[in-house]
Amino acid sequence: MTSRQTRNRDRAERGIPEATVARLPVYLRALHALQERGVATVSSEELAAAAGVNSAKLRKDLSHLGSYGTRGVGYEVEYLVYQISRELGLTQDWVVAIIGVGNLGRALAGYGGFASRGFRVAGLLDADEAIVGQQIAGMTVEHIDRLEDVIAERGVSIAVIATPAAAAQSVCDRVVAAGVTSVLNFAPVVLSVPDGVDVRKVDLSIELQILAFHEQRKAGGPGGYEAAGDGDRPSGTAQYVEAVEL
């Protein structure tokens, strides 16, 4: 059993909800910002405001980690960073391969935030002969034919798929067959994976369409909340807002 699988099992045994897990990186980002400002302790209200949640939800989330803070003082920032980092598995390095080195793949390869958060990009792969061999962010782009070798030789734990939609599923099948069980998908397609494989999808076009909906609503166009009849938000929008909150 891998360390990630062990951690998932332990989390399930402790009863940490997936919604809480989804909010932990948001808390961690806010805590890192506090550290950069030299803040030693933070109240639940201040941390909740920085993370965009209510303080009761934050306190409940952190209680799942066994962290309750000190009345009148709050939470110790450094220790809370350690607790959340440990829960998320960020106290060790995770090796990442980026497949698809177009404009998006290049931007991801050059993103400095990976290393500071415990993620080490160890491979860039592409099928385009014109791109293979190029130096990007200090790494040489390798041919997609070497995908399985790169995963095995460098201990890749997470695959980032930034290929065109037509190639994404076949690439995903290959990385899963090679033993990778965590995939971050930027391709505009839903990937089919077997049980035990985690896929997180980032679709920028969908996010822009949701923003377009809200812009239209603010301008008084169709889709406004008032049109729902009872003053509530349409169910689809409510689900999206909840997803963003998570």
Binding residues for NAD(+): 100-105
Phi first, then psi, for residue 6 (nearest 5°) are: -65, -40
As annotated, the binding site includes 100-105
Whether 26 and 51 have beta carbons less than 8 Å apart is answered as: yes
Q: How far apart are CA 159 and CA 183, in angstroms?
A: 5
Two tokens, residue 81: 């960073």
> What residues form DSSP beta bridges with 75?
42
Angle subtended by helix axes 55-63 and 18-36, to nearest 10: 100
CB atoms within 10 A of CB 43: 14
Q: How far apart are CA 82 and CA 77, in angstroms?
A: 9
Whether 41 and 77 have beta carbons less than 8 Å apart is answered as: yes
Can you tell me whether residue 117 is helix, strand or coil? coil
123, 127, 131, 133 alpha-carbon torsion, rounded to 10°: 50
